[in-house]
Chain A
């Protein structure tokens, strides 16, 4: 049985929760959302629209380095938002270089201040955290900065940072706890390495950095750090951007190599040691080859781990309510209505098995789920043809199938790939690369040459891709694409 301190004013309610006591029928809340990130907040705000009594629990367990943040989840605090702003900072550095060729004259050498950038970014994030709290309070959604875990049927325990525990019951729950960066499990990793959770609020310039990993997180971070003028090396175990079109992934890697990022391929770190304390200090990294016995060593000011993210599903009491998770990955399998195997418990966002880990997907899933629960809607979240963009120095936008997956699903003889390099007009004057930007579409010959994959590598790839995603959703065919007159002079006309 579980007994916890409850500071509620319902003494008549049975608060002992064990196998033999029936669960009370009148719950504290209609809906409790565990996790105040992209998915959780969207679902909570939507439910409040239908006058439901909603609570959001959000809590950030500090990183090994002590970093923490406010309401809003990964995207707002340690993901998309700060990432894009720092990517922009790097792009502006490049633009300053280009500007001389366009006639701008300045004699001073251009330097970058990590502190100024980070302070501005964190200020903006702070305003977003506050904005979410105002929005929740305004819509009468109860928000508690507390760690939520299931303790029994329909019952959750919320523990705040002072250790005070409260119990709450609800008719339904949505789990939206997201993920956190994975560590290597080698000596020195937690003591000395940082992750993306720490990078965007780092109170000192990271200096010479080793990025471990080849995910989009690794490449985006390596990309902007190099763009800000830092010495960056990326250590890759095997391939770049697993799950993405590999031809595009390799082009991204080549571009980064030619623009100041070093790559160490087929090695993994086995030990991290501190050579010198400081902010930053000096770390010694020992790495072993995955292809043989070779051992190498290197010294860096900062080691950034970006080797993957793990769902926050292991310590939230799912066993107490019988929610199944994939034991190996920690992900939660759901049906096409985001329902777990326990009918009153739902899950959305990055923790879902076999679904895309993207903010807009979590938001969409959350909103549609709540509309189905409380507004009689029937629309389910469409996970097909979701566009994405990787904000590496040369941006990559994609929607639909990669070339490999298309070949696998439809057969090589049934697909046709149309492709082209292009040279953005803005790159001509400053003599930037004329053979790097690239676009391709993958068509299904058996279905009217329907466009089933769209890939573009070039500036503003995200902006370009968004419109094409809508076209793909409408069933765009090659003929329709050909008959669409281009806008000139823009990259997208290719």
Chain B
């Protein structure tokens, strides 16, 4: 079995998804909400997404990839939002390996080499 993608929106959906896949390697991409045309308010997320998507087929077997829309710009800017408070996220986009300190933040997500390292190395 290869890897599978799950799409969620908001903190509680994210937590539910992460808990339900416990035991499997979980990777997550956090991105600003998208408008009706499918474009995010977060320009760095727009840049990072194609780079990240290209590396997805390197995910280890059995992994789960959670694509998470965090909310609108106002929600994200609030310093007390649940993502900042509980997951310690500092910026979007963030790409991380859940349950480990391994993550890439903002411009780091633009670099295919780094995304590749996150997805494939221990």
A residues adjacent to B (C-beta < 8 A): 123-124, 126-127, 129-130, 133-134, 137-138
Contacts and interface: CB of A to CB of B under 8 A. Distances in A.
Contact of B104 (A124, A126, A127, A134): A134
B100 interface: yes
Contact of A127 (B101, B108, B111): B101
Contacts of A123: 101
B101 A134 contact: no
A129 B108 CA distance: 16
B114 interface: yes
B100 A126 contact: yes
A97 B113 CA distance: 50
B102 interface: yes
Q: Which 7 A-B pairs have the closest CB atoms?
A: A127-B101, A126-B101, A130-B102, A130-B101, A137-B117, A137-B113, A137-B114
A138 B117 CA distance: 10
Main secondary structure of the interface of B (DSSP, over half): mixed
Interface string B85-112: 0000000000000001111100010010
B28 to A, nearest CB: 15
Given A123-B101, A130-B102, A137-B114, 12 more contacts: A124-B101, A126-B101, A129-B101, A130-B100, A130-B103, A133-B117, A134-B104, A134-B108, A134-B114, A137-B113, A138-B108, A138-B111
Contacts of A126: 100-102
A138 to B, nearest CB: 6
A126 to B, nearest CB: 4
Contacts of B121: 133
5 contacts: A126-B100, A129-B101, A134-B104, A137-B114, A138-B111
Contacts of B117: 133-134, 137
B118 to A, nearest CB: 9
Interface string B6-20: 000000000000000
A130 B95 CA distance: 13
Nearest to B117: A137
A129 B121 CA distance: 13
A124 B88 CA distance: 13
A121 to B, nearest CB: 12
A138 B101 contact: no
Nearest to A129: B101
A68 to B, nearest CB: 12
A129 B100 CA distance: 11
A76 B111 CA distance: 26
A416 B104 CA distance: 56
B114 A138 contact: yes
Contacts of A138: 108, 111, 113-114
A129 B103 CA distance: 12
A129 B104 CA distance: 13
Contacts of A133: 117, 121
Which of A123, A129, A130, A133 lies at the interface centre, i.e. has the most chain B CB atoms within 10 A of its CB?
Answer: A130
Contacts of B108: 134, 138
B93 to A, nearest CB: 15
A123 to B, nearest CB: 6
Nearest to B111: A138
B89 to A, nearest CB: 13
Most buried by B among A129, A133, A134, A138: A134
Contacts of A124: 101
Nearest to B121: A133
Contacts of A130: 100-103
A56 B40 CA distance: 39
A481 to B, nearest CB: 43
A127 B104 CA distance: 11
A127 B100 CA distance: 8
A126 B104 CA distance: 14
Contacts of B104: 134
Q: Which of B101, B102, B103, B113 has the most CB of A within 10 A?
A: B101
A130 B113 CA distance: 14
B97 to A, nearest CB: 9
